[in-house]
Structure 1
Amino acid sequence: MTNMQTSAQAASSEVLYAVEDHIATITLNAPQRMNTISGPMLNELAALLLKANQDPEVRCVILTGNGRAFCAGLDLTKERGDEGLSAASSPTTLDLRNTPPTVLQGMDKPTICAVNGGAAGYGMDTALGCDIRIMAESAKLAAAFVKRGVVPESGGTWFLPRMIGWAKASELIFTGRTLSARESLDWGLANEVVPDAELMGRARAVAREIAANAPLAVQAAKRMMRIGLNETFPDHVHHVYLQLLPLFKTQDMKEGIAAFMEKREAKFVGR
């Protein structure tokens, strides 16, 4: 299935969306300001993430950016105007249920961040919110929060201790250090680093590998990984079993077993 935006849509939208071969590609499209994110752009990104998660044709999501940056953080110039992050809220209310970090964390579809350039502040947290990070050689992760007088506001204080341990997370957050792509790989924050020109090709190759598997099983596995972060092993095993029971009844499980017995590639349909 292909659902490519028209050139007119692409020219007017700050977040692009396209679906091909069961892969949704969501692209931050404000290269003139290094893809810094305004309030309206946040809403659009969250809506498109939800759209991909709810589309039965989508089996994997790639998040990337246009231009030389993935995302240089929040758009503070717009924050001072009418399109800022607080434009739709009062000082006593802030609804975070449908913001990109929360939506990313709750998605059942696997997510790949193709980090095409600098990912700073909010951009770094957004990259960390994806399941897999593939970085271009020129890309960087900039944990510059404390250098701006703020904390990692979009999940970094939750992700980093779990991903790299307390000591390394403390070092990165407290110093506000910038890591190159290779350093990010060494620190365990990137899955792999590729030449800039090969970034999207590699991200799509990994996405195709994921999309070739039984989508309901992949999504159930991700759901169990997420739930397992906050439960005991006995409880987790029980919940895994409850997830397994409905999979036994799917057409895809029958196809997976048949393909294995017949020594052929399985053709999954998501049912």
Structure 2
Amino acid sequence: GIVPEACSTWYLPRLVGPSAALDLVLRADILDAETALAVGLVDEIHPGEDLQTQAAAIADAWTRDRSPVAVALSRQMVRRNATLTHPDQAHRIDSLAMFWTSIGDGKEGVTAFLEKRKPHFHGRASEMPDFYNDWVAGRASASAPAHRK
């Protein structure tokens, strides 16, 4: 006698696809870990005693020796661009982000790769590119940001 709530009808189809979302909602089953994995609600399952170790390993794989700016931009790009109505909109943001990182941490990343050494990134996720605030507010312009020294 109840319906889905908390914006689950918006998120669920994006996570598992519309057919699986409808099946999950109409069945209203309580899912165990294996079923959640099978339908795509979770990426991995681990025993409780191993969970913190595995979570730390994933966080390290995503962030160790990575540019904080590139990680922050990439996270937002994957989440926000997937909701845009046309790929041209995503391409504009991808291009702005590529331009920005090419004059910052991207240059260091390529140099470190060519020199076969660990990168020394200086960008900070708290200091995002000029276009970032407008973009997350839905006002990003089509022009590239001005180069800051």
Aligned residue type for 2:90: H
* CA displacement at 1:163 relative to structure 2: 1.3
Q: Distance in 2 between matches of 1:193 and 1:166?
A: 23
Q: How does 1:5-16 map to 2 (within 5 A)?
A: none
SS at match of 1:193: coil
Q: Residue 261 of structure 1 corresponds to which residue in structure 2?
A: 114
What is the TM-score of this pair, normalised by structure 1?
0.42
Q: How does 1:184-263 map to 2 (within 5 A)?
A: 184-212=36-64, 213-228=66-81, 229-250=83-104, 252-263=105-116
> Where in structure 1 do 4 or more consecutive aligned residues deviate above 3 Å?
none
Q: Residue 104 of structure 1 corresponds to which residue in structure 2?
A: none
Q: Residue 175 of structure 1 corresponds to which residue in structure 2?
A: 27
1:158 equivalent in alignment to 2:10:
yes
* CA displacement at 1:166 relative to structure 2: 1.1
Aligned residue type for 2:68: P
Unpaired stretches in structure 2, ≥5 consecutive residues: 125-149
CA deviation map 1:92-111 (0-9, x unaligned): xxxxxxxxxxxxxxxxxxxx
CA deviation map 1:139-181 (0-9, x unaligned): xxxxxxx6xx35222x311111111111110111122211111
- Residues 77 and 94 in structure 2, CA contact (< 8 A), matched pair in contact too: yes
RMSD: 1.7
Aligned residue type for 1:239: I
Aligned residue type for 2:41: L
Query: Percent of counterpart pairs with the same letter?
Result: 31
Q: Distance in 2 between matches of 1:269 and 1:201?
A: 28
Aligned residue type for 2:51: L
Q: How does 1:28-177 map to 2 (within 5 A)?
A: 149-153=2-6, 155-177=7-29
Q: Distance in 1 between matches of 2:34 and 2:120?
A: 37
SS at match of 2:117: coil
* CA displacement at 1:231 relative to structure 2: 2.7
Q: Distance in 2 between matches of 1:160 and 1:174?
A: 13
* CA displacement at 1:265 relative to structure 2: 2.2
